[in-house]
Structure 1
Amino acid sequence: MSFSVADRVILVTGGGTGIGAWATEAFVKGGAKVYITGRRESKLTDVVGKMDQIAPGKTIPFPCDLGKEEDIDKLTEFIKSKEERLDVLVNNAGPFYVDTVDEAHDPTKGMDQKCPFPLAFSPADAWKEQFAVTTWAPYTLTLKLIPLLAAAAKLGDGRGSVIQISSIAAKFWNPYWSIPAYQASKAGQEHTSNILASKLYTFGIRVNTVSPGSYDTDANPSFHEAAMSHPSNNERIPLGRSGGADDIIGPILFFASGASKYVTGQRLDVDGGVMLVANGTNKIAPYAQDMESTLKA
């Protein structure tokens, strides 16, 4: 059994920031060749610059918008022109849409009763973009890369691995959070992961899901009071803190390596225990302390 990713060819979408950038660094340090994508070329350039100090020429950027089929086609053709196989595909890219909660978007406007939780209308275009990049794109990109993934799978040792980076939001319905488009799209991504796993095992391709909880990233910055990674929420996370790079790269390396060669169709929450308390108890909420006091009264 080996956790090594040496000499593996890997594609990481959303590789310019956050978990995608952390995974890229772990892969490069492990001896892999890594292609990274993202909409912001400057972010990709920054990551490549850092990775070249570790292993020159091992990180190749390809700017694209995965919400557009023509960009997915350009990406797959680029990879196919460079490689005969793809050992690992990490589907990590995805926007993070938050509802605008104000009077203009309030569905209870004019009613005597007001909802004590954030509730808002949101534009169709926001949901379309969220689902296009988070749910449709990983499914479509995986399908278009089947020939390269299957070629890798024939070599054995866990190659031909698809890793879906989802979120605990897929199973998270705590009423205090106003991210329904994100939550629904992640649930869709996880369901398509199982669909892919159930079909692609015939090629030897494995599909597994890593679902992070709270991590200090661009989308969840610890300095922002409304972010889950804000220190004020640490006491609400069973293990007492948000996660960091070292917490998430281990599971990703597991699914990318031969150590997981007998694993497919699985989901792993890497959340410090958040899902033990997130739903029903309302502990993961801005006013958790007040609610607990009320319930005890």
Structure 2
Amino acid sequence: MTGILDSFRLDGRVALVTGSSRGLGKAAAIALAEAGADIALLDRGEPAETIAQIEARGRRAHSIRRDLIGASAEDLASVIDEVVVEYGHLDILVNNAGTIRRAPAAEYAVENWRDVLSINLDAVFHLSQAAGGHMLAQGRGRIINVASMLSFQGGILVPAYTASKHAVAGLTKALANEWASSGVTVNAIAPGYMATDNTAAIRADAVREASIVARIPMGRWGDAADLQGAFVFLASDAAAYVTGAIVPVDGGWLVR
């Protein structure tokens, strides 16, 4: 008899994780591997430490190097094809890669707008579209996008990031509506304030950092490990009836 804990296992599954060399992507890749999946890693460089952690858990790791800024739909479709050739199938896509550029909206450089939207939104759609084609054909699949607290709020000095993360939430819902009946679920995780490279500037501002912690009911910044359970859940059969959800993992930030 199969128990509830077995439904969280990912044995025999293949996952592609973008932005996997550090932070949230690295944590997601390691968690999925620990649950039993083989992992493909899409990054600008070689995510050597992530590969080592995956292989230490007895799973396979395959690295694909691409710069997502300006990547074409055809180039990103070739990434999905490479994963399928390497492993035979693709079951899970984690669209984690993202960037942020801070400046007042009235002075925001057009190249910053383009770069942020290219990575945070365009690549998410093109990878989801290509992966979705394979998943729809096999009758199953899990796509997990990384949204943000700024999928719900406006933020300060981050117009492109905010626009992109609102769009990721909307795209998650749109794809979920179209693909649910074919066995493909599309969900997003919305991390709260996490201690990552993207938030280094905020954490270095003593006044801003203190105001943020004061609003978080748990009283601390999140860590990448705090997201691992959510990634495994949404990738697993335990979440078979969950789609179109934007799941906050925020220490209570949104309910304050």
TM-score by length of 1: 0.77
* Correspondent of 1:169 among 150, 157, 171: 150
1:237 deviates by: 0.9
Q: Of 46, 64, 67, which residue of structure 2 is paired with 1:65?
A: 67
Structure 1 runs, 4 residues or longer, greater than 6 Å off: none
User: Partner of 1:162: helix, strand, or coil?
Assistant: strand
Q: Alignment partner of 1:199: what SS?
A: helix
Q: Deviations over 1:266-287 (max 9, x none)?
A: 111111111234xxxxxxxxxx
Deviation digits for residues 68-91 of structure 1 (CA, Å, limit 9, x no counterpart): 114313312211322332111111
Q: For the structure 1 residues 191 and 73, does the alpha-carbon distance in structure 2 shift closer, same or farther, using more than 3 Å as the test? A: same
Aligned 8 A contact 1:149 1:205 in 2: yes
Aligned to 1:290: none
Q: Classify 1:45/1:224 alpha carbon distance in 2 versus 1 (closer, same or farther; 3 Å).
A: same
Q: Is the 8 A contact 1:14 1:93 kept in 2?
A: yes
Between structures 1 and 2, the one with greater helix share: 2
Q: Which residue does 2:57 correspond to in 1? A: 54
Contact 2:77 2:126 in 1 (8 A): no
* Letter in structure 2 aligned against 1:98: R
Q: Which residue of 2 aligns with 1:83?
A: 87
2:215 maps to 1:215: no
Give the drift of 1:260: 0.5
What corresponds to 2:159 in structure 1? 180
In structure 2, do the counterparts of structure 1 residues 23 and 45 end up closer, same or farther at CA, with 3 Å as the change threshold? same
Letter in 1 for 2:136: A
2:37 partner letter = A
Question: Quick one: structure 1 residues 149 and 132, their matched pair in 2 at CA, closer, same or farther if it must change by over 3 Å?
Answer: same
Q: Is the 8 A contact 2:176 2:186 kept in 1?
A: yes
Q: Look up the match of 2:234.
A: 255
Match of 2:176 in 1: 197
Cα deviation digits, residues 174-193 of structure 1 (max 9, x gap): 5xx21111011100111111
Matched, 1:17 2:52: no
Which residue of structure 2 lines up, in the alignment, with residue 206 of structure 1?
185
* Matching residue's letter, 2:189: V
Change in 2 beyond 3 A, CA 1:98/1:228: farther
Query: Following the alignment from structure 1 to structure 2, what is the Cα–Cα distance between the partners of residues 222 and 21?
Result: 21
TM-score normalized by the length of structure 2:
0.89
Instruction: Work out whether residues 147 and 246 of structure 2, in 8 Å CA contact, stay in contact via their aligned partners in 1.
Output: no
> Amino acid of the residue matched to residue 38 of structure 2?
K
Over alpha carbons, which structure has the higher Rg? 1
Cα contact 2:31–2:231 (8 A) shared by 1: no
Superimposed CA distance per residue, residues 127-170 of structure 1 (whole angstroms, 9 cap, x where no aligned partner): 11111111121111111122321245x3xxxx501111111111
Give the SS at the match of 1:219: helix
| RMSD of equivalent CA atoms | 2.3
Aligned partner of 2:130 in structure 1 is: 144
Q: Structure 2: give runs of 5+ residues left out of the alignment.
A: none
3-state DSSP class of the match of 2:8?
coil
Aligned counterpart, 1:116: none
Q: State how far apart, in whole Å, the 2-side matches of 1:228 and 1:254 are.
A: 36
Q: How many Å separate the matches in 1 of 2:120 and 2:159?
A: 13
CA distances 1:44-77 after superposition (whole Å, capped 9, x unpaired): 123213332332x611111112331143133122
Instruction: In structure 1, give the amino acid aligned to 2:216.
Output: I
Question: What are the Cα deviations for residues 6-56 of structure 1, in whole angstroms up to 9, with x where unaligned?
Answer: 2211011111111110011111112210001111x14x123213332332x
In structure 2, distance between residues paired with 1:13 and 1:166: 14
Which whole-Å CA distance do the structure 2 matches of 1:132 and 1:228 have between them? 32
2-structure distance, mates of 1:90, 1:227 = 33
How many pairs are equivalent?
249
1:38 aligns with 2:40: no
